[in-house]
A and B are shown apart, each in its own frame.
Chain A
Amino acid sequence: MSVDLEPVIDSLKNEFPQDIIDIKEYRGETTLLVSKERIFKICAYLKDGLDFTFLADLTAVDYLEVKSPRYEVVYHIHRFGPECEENVRIRLKAELSEEDIEIDSVTPVWSGADWLEREVYDMFGIEFIGHPDLRRILMPEDYEPFPLRKDFDVRNREASKRSFEKALEEGAD
């Protein structure tokens, strides 16, 4: 574990003894697996208590047939420091099962999470509870499937065709 992150992880462990499920270190990056119920509290603590002011990235991964629970929401959270050693980044992961595809939104913590969560919703269909404006962002509004899911059929063009035809109809009107 890199030296800079030790106090952060200790502090998190003190604050949330039950919710840090696993800690992994790979290629110099630290990943914490946390329980999804407490993700909002952990993020708020990281920001207010430990000064992780910058949400670098928020995304999701679909592990269909690879492992269960199926989805992971991944947060990359960054703390600025004046020296380069003081810039630290931590990766949080929360697991979501297929049946309960909801997680608390972190938009109240970082407003920059707004579009990132919308993109995850758009691509994976993961619902963010408490998001101010959860709707599709890259795909058409009336598009049905969720493209980045692993069971998305790339050869099936029906959904895009429907959206396109609807747009044509509206345009002709």
Chain B
Amino acid sequence: MERVEFISEEQVIINEDGTRTETMMLNMGPQHPATHGVLRIVLHLDGEMVVKAVPYIGYLHRGIEKLCEHITYQQCLPYTDRMDYIASICNNIGYILAVEKLLGIEDEIPERAKTTEVILFELGRIESHLVGIGTNALDLGAMSAFLYCFKERERIYDILETVCGARLTTSYPRVGGLPLDLPESFEEMVRNFLKIFPTTLTEVENLLTRNRIWIERTKGVAVISAEDAVDLGLTGPSLRASGVPYDVRKATPYLGYENYDFEVPVANEGDAYSRYLCRVEEMHQSLKIIQQAIDNLPDGPYIADLPDIVLPEKELTYTRMESLIRHFVIVYEGFKPPAGEVQHAVENPKGELSYYLISDGSGKPYRMRVRGPSFVNMQALSQMVEGSLVADVIASIGSLDIVLGEIDR
């Protein structure tokens, strides 16, 4: 049995007087509280300096892409919220939009459903950024900011629970719109959140933005230039903090984002601190979008009138033969998109999430490919941490805001 080597041979330097200088190999993870899941990084250290960092992923691989080849389009939905489980609602909506594009029914979706999806999507973004900032701060020792963030996250969970019955694994909208009309208390809850949340956000900002320890731990840490960021395929706040104003909501609008008035925050330093600033500003912008959406939430149908795709109302399934037959056909065989392929991208809180769906004309996807933002963003880690201190590795992982469920899929 081969022994685990703690010294990496390639890093051994023989000095002029014949002595050896060796780097130390340190295994960080897979069980480590600051890796935000089961991530393993092999660090080659020269004292406190990181010479080389090699991430190992796949500990959470469940083969979602393979699983989805064997089930109908509707059945894939619950798998999508188990990827980025911090903002599962955003994954769900992204998937639904991709299927709707594959079916070619984007124009049939009622406005009420679209506006609700915008509200939920932005709530998901706030939720994810709260976790991102909170855990990043917690890793660096700022416990109180974390508690403020998680307190507000509960409020978003309450809204999600009212709408779809689940807090974490939402599996919410359906192809064609919403499965049920919104509960009566939804509007009030969202308005209430809009009233309370800015205060907490200010509190979090007060705790961190001018906090000297926070600034010293994050400013100039994990720097990545704009060219490198684009070259590596970074997206989301990690890209925009390097000065590239790419946001899918602006670049290729979906769900009617072109009708909302909001800004895309951009910073130029490309370090962990500017990523934090971008996230905070994005939450402000999300609040702005939610405000506009809830003020203009239209009445009317909540699901498209497409009998081949949308399940009949539950009551009709119980009382009418035709509806029951329709229900069975859709559940058993699934709806059948015409043969073809589409890619649909959405701006997930962590970056660009795109689904590439191929239909062969049957009720099951021939291939479902998920391009997760965390998977691609994670590549930048080695470049960010090599040449920095061990302690900065923690700050870098936190500032990239990765979620392993989506990296490993």
Least distance between B340 CB and chain A CB atoms (Å)? 5
B251–A74 touching, CB < 8 Å: no
Least distance between B63 CB and chain A CB atoms (Å)? 6
Q: Interface on A for B, CB 8 Å cutoff? A: 26-27, 29, 31, 53-57, 59, 61-62, 66, 74, 76, 80-81, 84, 87, 89, 91, 110-116, 119, 123, 136-140, 147-148, 152, 154, 169-170, 173
Cα A111 to Cα B102 with chains together (Å): 30
* Segment 220-238 of B: residues with Cβ below 8 Å from A: 230-234
A113 — which chain B residues lie within 8 A by C-beta? 233
- Ordered nearest first, which 10 A-B pairs have the shortest CB separation? A112-B233, A138-B58, A87-B251, A57-B371, A138-B61, A112-B232, A173-B1, A59-B369, A26-B340, A53-B230
B376 — which chain A residues lie within 8 A by C-beta? 112, 115-116
Classify chain B: how many residues form its interface, as a range. 35 or more
Q: What is the predominant secondary structure among interface residues of chain B facing chain A?
A: mixed
Least distance between A37 CB and chain B CB atoms (Å)? 24
Partner of B231, one of A31, A111, A148: A111
B375 at the A interface (CB under 8 A): yes
Q: List 5 A-B contacts (CB under 8 A).
A: A27-B102, A57-B356, A61-B367, A123-B65, A137-B57
A56–B232 touching, CB < 8 Å: no
With A84-B251, A112-B233 known to touch, is A148 a contact of B358 (CB < 8 Å)?
no
Cα A119 to Cα B369 with chains together (Å): 12
Which of B189-197, B276-284, B341-349 lies at the binding interface? B341-349
Partner of B343, one of A66, A87, A91, A140: A91
With A56-B345, A56-B352 known to touch, is A84 a contact of B250 (CB < 8 Å)?
yes
Partner of A27, one of B342, B345, B354, B375: B342
B65 closest partner in A (C-beta): A148
B167 at the A interface (CB under 8 A): no
Cα A81 to Cα B250 with chains together (Å): 11
B58–A139 touching, CB < 8 Å: yes
A59 closest partner in B (C-beta): B369
The winner among B1, B57, B231, B340 for most chain A CB atoms within 10 A is: B231
Cα A66 to Cα B342 with chains together (Å): 19
B367 closest partner in A (C-beta): A61
With A80-B246, A115-B375, A116-B376 known to touch, is A27 a contact of B101 (CB < 8 Å)?
yes
Least distance between A118 CB and chain B CB atoms (Å)? 10
A154–B258 touching, CB < 8 Å: no
Cα A57 to Cα B58 with chains together (Å): 19
A59 — which chain B residues lie within 8 A by C-beta? 356, 369, 371
B104 at the A interface (CB under 8 A): yes
Cα A114 to Cα B369 with chains together (Å): 17
